[in-house]
Amino acid sequence: MAAKLIDRKFHNVPGRLRVAELFFDVPLNYTKPNEGTLRLFARSVRRLVTPVEPNTGNNDDKQLPWLVYLQGGPGFGCRPPQEIGWISTVLDKGYQVLFLDQRGTGLSSTITASTLARQGNAVKQAEYLKHFRADNIVRDCEAVRRCLTTDFPEDKRKWSVIGQSFGGFCITSYLSMFPEGLSEAFICGGLPPLVSDPDPVYARTYEKVLERNKAYYAKFPEDVDRVKQIVQYLKDNEVALPSGKLSPERFQQLGIAFGMHGGLDSIHDLVLRAWSDLDVLGFLTHPTLTSIDSHGGMDNNVIYAILHEAIYCQGQASNWSADRYRASNTNFHIDTTLPEILFTGEMVYKDMFDSYTELKQIKEAADILASTNDWPQLYDEAQLARNEVPVYAATYLDDMYVHFDHAQNTAAKIKGIKQFITNTMYHNAIRAKSDEVFQQLFAMREDTID
């Protein structure tokens, strides 16, 4: 079925872009389309063309091929297109680009504690949240595609997709469920583990987190004692943040940045600031606390916390996988007598639902989802094996979030995939090194590689 276009307004980014702000209605549950709708938001972008003859219009109806961007996450909306460093590169290739806020994120029926409360008790909230995984995200994409290409010739109704991280997971679901809607797919750091629960994922990603901790302390050996001092202070004092409280565990979770370009330095800056406060003043100042708070994000992106482990579930329960692993691995215990206090990575823990004010309100629903085992399949390996859609992937050997071994296992199961594999980029290369990434992706697309 096609999405219903509710509103479309155009504006210009001077000298650069022609942007349309689009709102659609789609079913909450595609198997029961009459039982409620969601409002989706997207921005479409094309080159701003100022015609020589003003009366010729702005060419808004020109049927350029679509490229849809699927954001990483889960739980994050898209940034405005003028903040996207690679937008000019893609527009120069002749596409018009659609930045779709995935359901529950950005302006697309945003999920928060207060919006969830409208659904009723925790059981009803959990049932509602089951509709916000990759399978329904790609159903939304198909519904929007059918809406936007209604007037296109039949042979031009397919569109291209590009996904970063979790966006690549969504694309792999798209290839499994609706390959007939795709003309090509680009995946950046997002070949998903083909697993039924998160346990095998964390068995490998904790290894990469350990490597990044070693790299951090090798670069900043002075932070070994500084981190211990900060953690001891947090153990001895109740420290409030704008979004909740700064527990030792929440400070430990800053390591989620370690897998990004510049991540080690950004966390060192926070450690340096916090240690300096304690050394000079004996307490953490407001600028320090707000800086630390800004590195969390769970309060503004609750889907990330509440559904993060569920993105790996197919017929199995997650049972707080990352939490269980941390508890069983003494290396990651918060103990100042250990040689080093290790930071954690892209994992969600039970204590987050105590240290974030927003998450505390949906803790019961999170527990229900963690014990849910009837998650539907997200990937069809038989369909991937007979795939005919061109797929181009940028894969990072030292990815801390999507382990290289899992990515290669998946790549081996997608017929015809081409990969650019590198050990000189990290997970956020699409932002940090976009020129290099897109040069490689389009080189594979244009068959310029010998």
Residues annotated as part of the active site: 165, 399, 427
Sorted by sequence, the CB contacts under 8 Å of residue 430 that are 6+ apart come out as 86, 164, 188, 189, 394, 437
Look at residues 392, 443, 403, 391 and name the one whose alpha carbon lies nearest to residue 427: 403
DSSP annotation of 81: G
CB half-sphere exposure, 86, CA atoms < 13 A: 23
Sorted by sequence, the CB contacts under 8 Å of residue 91 that are 6+ apart come out as 17, 45, 46, 47, 97
- Which residues is 187 bridged to in the sheet? 163, 393
What distance in Å separates the CA atoms of residue 134 and residue 75, rounded to the nearest whole number?
A: 11
- Assess contact for 429 and 438: CB atoms under 8 A: no
Sorted by sequence, the CB contacts under 8 Å of residue 274 that are 6+ apart come out as 226, 230, 284, 288, 292
Look at residues 16, 51, 2 and name the one whose alpha carbon lies nearest to residue 152: 2
What distance in Å separates the CA atoms of residue 11 and residue 19, rounded to the nearest whole number?
A: 5
Distances, alpha carbon 265 to alpha carbons 39, 164, 230, 261, 425, in Å: 39, 23, 17, 9, 16
Sorted by sequence, the CB contacts under 8 Å of residue 259 that are 6+ apart come out as 208, 212, 345, 346, 399, 400, 401, 426, 427
Exposed/middle/buried for residue 54 (C-beta within 10 Å: 0-12, 13-18, 19+): exposed
Phi, psi of 63 (to 5 degrees): -85, 70
What distance in Å separates the CA atoms of residue 108 and residue 3, rounded to the nearest whole number?
A: 13
- The residue assigned the tokens 């207060």 is 114
Report the relative pairing of strands 96-100 and 66-70 from DSSP bridges.
parallel
Preceding peptide of 74 cis, ω within 30°: yes
